[in-house]
Structure 1
């Protein structure tokens, strides 16, 4: 048996490779998942983990995906490696959904398959780190907790700018623009393409126009995280901002996830596109993407991307996927509307989009709701709206009403 004293001695021993390593805090969301699983109360509600759930509280395999997987099982002839670029046909078919048919054919645009949206973000971060000037990456607050670590682990400097004011439940656009006005030429600005995580708040069209003007005039590089296309306003509406950005700026990066809109969470399916300043630079961008991908994961996993390719190559399956995605989007929007009607202080939720919202709750209130009512959410007050059902909304609203801060 190894004692604590022996562990300390070993850690301090000269030449120890791992002696300088320190314990790291547990991931807050993963810890929350564990606490929820241990709770034996039948009425408990999980609003923490960011996966879509249906009316039965399940995260099913989408019908179109299941059909595509059956087809793959019957026809797939090999499990040989893909190249670092992944399934090129998958990327080719997905591009018009993201960028529209015209922009998808832009010779300045090049894309590769990645392991999920997180893989796309990390690959893009590594590409930025190879670029000129070691730019700073500007990230709004709050944001997905993994954003800043991804860029920092690539060796990049990260600065935050205001985005959402929890006290008012609105975007502090003036403060956002004032902060970004300090960015230097060539800096990177991380933007949520739609369905902001964790707040659900979205810029108005006029605000997007002003932001694009600032990016263009200051020669800043937009890095768009598009992780929830189709779950906010619809496939085309959710991509409108990304398309407008790519039309306006000479260089841009887009990280994309199929995990949510195809329900492929555990299969980790994504893509990264980069727009170069001119088509003469596209080949060099692609070469560097492939070299970096080779060092990060060598070859991306095939199964999920192959299923998406099967769907997008078949008009019937593609229509079925779009119908089911619209069912999911409509369910989320309906839950938002019900919450807004049930509690006036949640009225802003009806005008937001996507799976997430940030409630005006203190950390102490979140802990009390967990202890007293079995309601599990992130300590920040971020909830996954898809974790609710129509029959649980009244009880949920009654439980949080006394704790709301506005």
Structure 2
């Protein structure tokens, strides 16, 4: 059997990372992989994370399994951070998962196993490539809806709503809660209201991937769209990640959170537990326990939020600097959108050939669709990137 296997196509982002590592130039810049870095190029361990790990080290007496759903304190803490106080906890059910990717996968498993057999999953064009990879692997019906206007570098709201007007009852609409990956262009509060109205009218269920809460406009502002849908609609699926906002990428701390009628939430929880049992049994605990420790302690939580805010503001400052540099170098407002986008990513609108030329001529590595990781820059490399863009892009 193994001798007949065919090698899968390489992951483009991972392949780009390997190319960067093999490039001997000292002045190369990695804007591909989606991790936060300090100006020194380090992805730090947050202060509160270190303190929480020390506390766990001192106090933990066992490494036995947690429950199938994971640590209840983790689910409560993260659900509260995402949904705020407007949702009755009795309407929710949740399971810890191996990272946000695990939450996405388990959400699709829930739809496939317990939803309508013919339900279509609608995804934005563009979206995080792994959404498509997972859906294709699971052989689930998918359709795309317009999202990003390449000409304006803004959300194509009218195109989005026109496409979603075709969703059928029971379909799943995958939305990015904030800091859209790969474009950085977000829905406004008014846009979220229109989306909620449309989904309610069509009887579709939103699935929200919220991987960057706190990286855009703040913890509460970044969750506003998710909270609106949870308040307005009878059912919502939420795939959350702690990789970015807690900086615990390798600990793989994710959560699949559902909102439904309170009379059904208990059954939903049992189904979610069974999904964990069938896929990987008991979920990882170390990362979720770090998060639960931080969210459950007022001092640790305050310190974590302060450092997260520093991280958010540093990315906004880099966006503003890059937009200003490009305005000066191109003598145009063409790239002003970079300052308006939020989160780690923006998509420049450069062609694949222009992206390749910037890599070859300047040692600047970004994904082929011109998605760049703002957090891979610092004050010294922003002018280098601006010069490369100005000299390369038509």
Tell me if TM exceeds 0.5: yes
Q: Which moved more, 1:201-210 or 1:43-52?
A: 201-210
Deviation at 1:285? 1.2
- Contact 2:99–2:252 (CA<8 Å) still a contact in 1? yes
Q: Which residue number in structure 1 is paired with residue 39 of structure 2?
A: 55
SS in 1 for 2:282: coil
Deviation at 1:20? 5.2
- Contact 2:122–2:145 (CA<8 Å) still a contact in 1? yes
Residues 259-294 of structure 1: CA distance to partner in whole angstroms, max 9, x if unpaired?
Answer: 000001000001111112x22211221111111111
SS in 2 for 1:383: strand
Q: Which residue number in structure 2 is paired with residue 95 of structure 1?
A: 79
- Segments of 5+ residues of structure 1 without an aligned counterpart are 1-16
SS in 1 for 2:223: helix
How far apart are the structure 2 equivalents of 1:348 and 1:73? 45
Q: Which residue number in structure 2 is paired with residue 338 of structure 1?
A: 321
Query: Quick one: which of 148, 151, 159 aligns to 2:132?
Result: 148
Deviation at 1:402? 2.8
Deviation at 1:21? 3.4
Q: Does residue 22 in structure 1 map to residue 6 in structure 2? A: yes
Q: Which residue number in structure 2 is paired with residue 37 of structure 1?
A: 21
How far apart are the structure 2 equivalents of 1:93 and 1:48? 31
Q: Which residue number in structure 2 is paired with residue 124 of structure 1?
A: 107
How far apart are the structure 2 equivalents of 1:106 and 1:64? 26
How far apart are the structure 2 equivalents of 1:168 and 1:213? 25
Deviation at 1:361? 0.7
How far apart are the structure 2 equivalents of 1:212 and 1:299? 34
Q: Which residue number in structure 1 is paired with residue 188 of structure 2?
A: 204
Matches within 5 A, 1:289-304: 289-304=272-287
Q: Does residue 112 in structure 1 map to residue 98 in structure 2? A: no
Q: Which residue number in structure 1 is paired with residue 299 of structure 2?
A: 316
How far apart are the structure 2 equivalents of 1:286 and 1:154? 23
Q: Which residue number in structure 1 is paired with residue 121 of structure 2?
A: 137
Deviation at 1:44? 0.7
**RMSD of the alignment, in Å?**
1.2
Matches within 5 A, 1:248-267: 248-267=232-251
Q: How many residues align?
A: 387
SS in 2 for 1:101: coil
Deviation at 1:391? 1.2
Deviation at 1:19? 5.8
Query: Quick one: which of 356, 377, 382 aligns to 2:371?
Result: 382
How far apart are the structure 2 equivalents of 1:128 and 1:251? 12
Q: Which residue number in structure 2 is paired with residue 305 of structure 1?
A: 288
SS in 2 for 1:244: helix
Residues 73-126 of structure 1: CA distance to partner in whole angstroms, max 9, x if unpaired?
Answer: 1111011111220111111122211111341x4312111111110010011100
Q: TM-score normalized by structure 1? A: 0.93
Deviation at 1:226? 0.4
- Contact 2:357–2:392 (CA<8 Å) still a contact in 1? no
Q: Which residue number in structure 1 is paired with residue 392 of structure 2?
A: 403
SS in 2 for 1:168: coil
How far apart are the structure 2 equivalents of 1:148 and 1:281? 30
Larger Rg: 1
Q: Does residue 67 in structure 1 map to residue 51 in structure 2? A: yes
Q: Which residue number in structure 2 is paired with residue 4 of structure 1?
A: none
SS in 1 for 2:258: strand
Q: Which moved more, 1:171-180 or 1:149-158?
A: 149-158
Deviation at 1:404? 2.8
How far apart are the structure 1 equivalents of 2:155 and 2:186? 8
